[in-house]
Every structure is written in structure tokens, then in C-alpha cells.
Amino acid sequence: MLDKLEIKGRDPSLYNEDLAPIPLSKRTWGWFEIFNVWANDVQSLFGYTLAASLFLTYGLNGWSVFAAILVAGFFVMWLVNLMGQPSVQYGIPFPVMARASMGVRGANFPAIVRAIVAIFWYGAQTYFASTAVALLIHALTGGANPEAATFLGMTAIDWIAFLLVWAFQIWLFWNGIDWITRFLNWAGPFVYLVMIVLAGVIWAKAGSGLMSEMGNIFQGTSTYEGSSFGAFMAIVGTMIAYFAAVVINYGDFSRFVRSQSEMKKGNLLGLPLNIAFFSLIALVVTAGTVAVFGESLTEPTDIIERVNSVPLTIVAALMFFAATVGINLVANFIPPAYDLANLMPSKINFRVGGLITSGFALIIGGLWVSTISQIGIFNFVNTLGAILAPVYGIMIVDYYMLKGGKLDLEQLFTADPSGMYYYDNGWNRTAMIAFGLAGIFSVATVWAPALADLSGFAWVIGAVLGGGLYYVLAKR
């Protein structure tokens, strides 16, 4: 393993301390840290709602739903093991890894697209996390005032909560990756503990009715129009799509891990097994809400409101805050911080990239209620996400099939026109052609009604097309 100080002839436009390879001697992550990356990714409010809804939407029996969730979990685990391996071996983040296939300048394109997607969701998730803090404030002060004045759709309490969350996240990243790691390692187990307590409370209230409702859900009570196999594959595709954003930049996390075995163990525990256990908790709580309240509630905030317990509301608000900030750090903060640093390493480091991300988050989150959530911007964000799908395939094919699993670290940080990864003015034209052709299909799944049925697998299909076209073109 090369020490970052040994990289000779590095170009200031491609190198800074945050993008440099992390020596093995300075890596501190093991399987537990990787497990908590996935735990925080799964345990968001949306993650809970998604898990609960899968048992109600497609009409399958519960065992089939669990099987589909496990299939998706193992498939995503395979994807991230492939993407994470080179970053464990060489200690480099996603945008530097992308230079090997896209070119030392061409890597900026997928990096900035990934950054835009993440920055948008960072702002949105900052707002969602602030709703948990607002819930906590209302619980401590005696409830919300429905007649309170609003500005941009939010009351004074809402704005205070939003700014507190925004400032907390800045404080957290400013203290560096070690503090972020500590937060993730605390938030993952804490959210699980509270979810188990919530399941226990619901179970106690539901009594014997819980098992009856779980039995109904396991029999499959919904009316999905397609076949059972179609429903099974729809669940698999939905779960894969949920994790797609983190898959491509997984190297941003695996570069901190001490060994490949630690990474793979963390991925096994954090993906299929973690997802299955979390889904089981969601199933128990959802079935309990039917027995207790007479209807299936899949929104955690609705459940807490119905339970009507101030102590539970306070603890749950802390859980919602920890869960949402956790996924924000994993999926929406660390990636753009590195991606923005990759644009101008001599001027933008991890902290500056984080400040830029937070600046946009203040605008996006502040305008979320009044404007952004009202203008149907999701297709724009989904389009950017679809654009990234072929990049995964290109990077994997390039590293494993064309370069034999070997990289030259020094060449990744040089702008010498004769450099191995300089290609044509810093861009790999072959990769860009494959990316463009495959990207057309990926984007079409967002906009073309005829391809709507493939939307769940659009990311996978785009990655396969991108990798396949790149291999054929590169061989020629």
C-alpha cells in the first residue's frame, strides 16, 4: 500500500489530502462501521414506510415478501462488494476511482451529477429531520398551535428546528470523518432500540390481535393486478432502486475499512440480514396498528401521534432525528463533499465541499414546503439518478475486465498528457460514448410511459448496458 506522501508528480488540480489514498495504517473502520452505514441508510422514516408498505401493496404472502427483500439485499451486497473492493485496496474515494475509466478530467462529470442529486436530497432530508425536532419541541411545550403564523409555509418553531438541524450537521462534519463515524455508530443501534420498544408497546396494546393481523398480512390481503412473479420482482426492483444512490459512491466509505473481509462482513450483516430484521419490525408494528387502531399505519409519525404518550413521543422524536440525519450523512453529505473536492482539489477540500453542500441545503430545505415540493421536481432528480446508472457498469467492467483489478495510483493524480488515465484531453471518449448510449435508455425509463414497468430495474439495466457497450467498444 502506497503512502499518500509517496505519490510523485501529483497535479494540484487533481490532488488534495482528502482525495489522497488512505494508508492501511490510518484506517480505523471494521465491519461494525460498515454495518452502521447500511443501518442508517435503512432506518430512515421513508425506509420504514417502504418496508411496511411492501407487505401491503403487492398482495403476496409474507414469506414471499421476505424472500424478495433478501434477494434484493444479497444483490445489492454483491454490487457494493464489487464497487468497494478497489477503494479498500487503494484507499481512494469514488471520484478518484472514476478517473481510471472516465479519464482524469472526465470523472468530473459523473461526480458533479452525483453531487447535484445528493445536494438536493440533503436539503430535503434536512427539512424532514427538522420535523422530528419540531415534534420534540411541541411535546415539551404542550403541543402545536394550529393558528401560528407561517413564513414560507413554516411556523417559527419549524424554522428554529430547521436551523438547529442545519447547524448541527455543519458542526458534525466540521469535526471530521471521525465524528461522523461516531454519530453513525450511535444512531444505528439507538434507532433499532427505539423501534424494538415501539414494537413492544404496540404489541402490548394489540394483545392476541397482533398475531391474527400478522396472519392476515402473511396470507396476502391486497389486490395486485400482475402475476405473483411480477409482484415478487417489483419488490426486488423497488429495494434495489432504494439503495442505488449509495451503490455507485460506496468507495467513499470502503476506503476507511481495514480489510476486504471486514467490508464483506459488514455488507452481509448490514444489507440482507439488517434489511430482513428491520422489515420484520415494520411488519409487527404495522400489524399491531391494524389491531389497535383499526387501520394499517405505515407512517411512524402517525403511529406515535395515535399512541399519545409524551415520553414515547420525546424518545421517538430523537429517533426520527437520528435516523434522518444518519441517512443524510450516508447518502447525501459525504458523497457531494468528495465530489465537489474533485472539481477543484487545490481550492475545495472535504470541509469546503461540506459548506457548499450545506449552503444549498439551507435554500432547498427552507423552500421545501412552500415551493420545491409543489413543483414536481422529482422527475428532474430521478433523471439525474438514471444518468449515473451506466457509470457503475463502465467502472466495474473497466476495473475488473479490462485492467485486471489493478490501478496505478500515481497515474490517477497526474495531468500529464502521456498519463495512463489521461486518454483524450483527460476524457475517455470510449467511456463517454458508452455512457451516452446507455444513458438514453436509463433516462427514458423516467419519462417514457411505455417503459414504466421497467422503472424498478432501470438502474440495473442501465448499468448492464453501460458496462456491456463499454466492453465492446473498448475491445474494438
Cell numbers 387501520: residue: 295
d(CA 323, CA 41): 8
Instruction: Give pLDDT, residue 259.
Output: 95
CB 43 within 8 A of CB 192: yes
Q: What does the pLDDT average to over 10-27?
A: 90
CB 392 within 8 A of CB 147: no
Choice between 207 and 146, residue whose per-residue pLDDT is larger: 207
pLDDT digits (tens, 9 = 90+) for 264-316: 999 999 999 999 888 888 888 888 888 888 877 777 777 777 777 788 788 88
% residues pLDDT > 70 (the chain):
95
Q: How confident is the model at residue 2 (pLDDT cuts 50, 70, 90)?
A: very low
Q: Give the 3-state DSSP-derived string for the chain, with helices as H, strands as E and coil as C.
A: CCCHHHCCCCCCCCCCCCCCCCCHHHCCECHHHHHHHHHHHHCCHHHHHHHHHHHHHCCCCHHHHHHHHHHHHHHHHHHHHHHHHHHHHHCCCHHHHCHHHHCCCCCHHHHHHHHHHHHHHHHHHHHHHHHHHHHHHHHHHCCCCCCCCEECCEEHHHHHHHHHHHHHHHHHHHCCHHHHHHHHHHHHHHHHHHHHHHHHHHHHHHCCHHHHHHHHHHHCCCCCCCCHHHHHHHHHHHHHHHHHHHHHCCHHHHCCECCHHHHHHHHHHHHHHHHHHHHHHHHHHHHHHHHHHCCCCCCHHHHHHHHCCHHHHHHHHHHHHHHHHHHHHHHHHHHHHHHHHHHCCCCCCHHHHHHHHHHHHHHHHHCCCCCHHHCCCHHHHHHHHHHHHHHHHHHHHHHHHHCCCCCCHHHHCCCCCCCCCCCECCECHHHHHHHHHHHHHHHHHHHCHHHHHHHHHHHHHHHHHHHHHHHHHHHC
CA 220: distance to chain centroid?
Answer: 29
Q: What is the mean pLDDT of the chain?
A: 86
CB 354 within 8 A of CB 426: no
Q: What does the pLDDT average to over 171-184?
A: 89
Helix axes 45-57, 31-42, angle to 10 degrees: 70
Q: What does the pLDDT average to over 40-56?
A: 80
Q: Highest mean pLDDT: which of 44-53, 223-232, 267-276, 362-371?
A: 267-276
Domains and CATH numbers, the chain: 25-475 (1.10.4160.10)
User: CB-based burial of residue 419 (10 Å sphere; 0-12 exposed, 13-18 middle, 19+ buried)?
Assistant: buried
Q: What does the pLDDT average to over 1-21?
A: 75
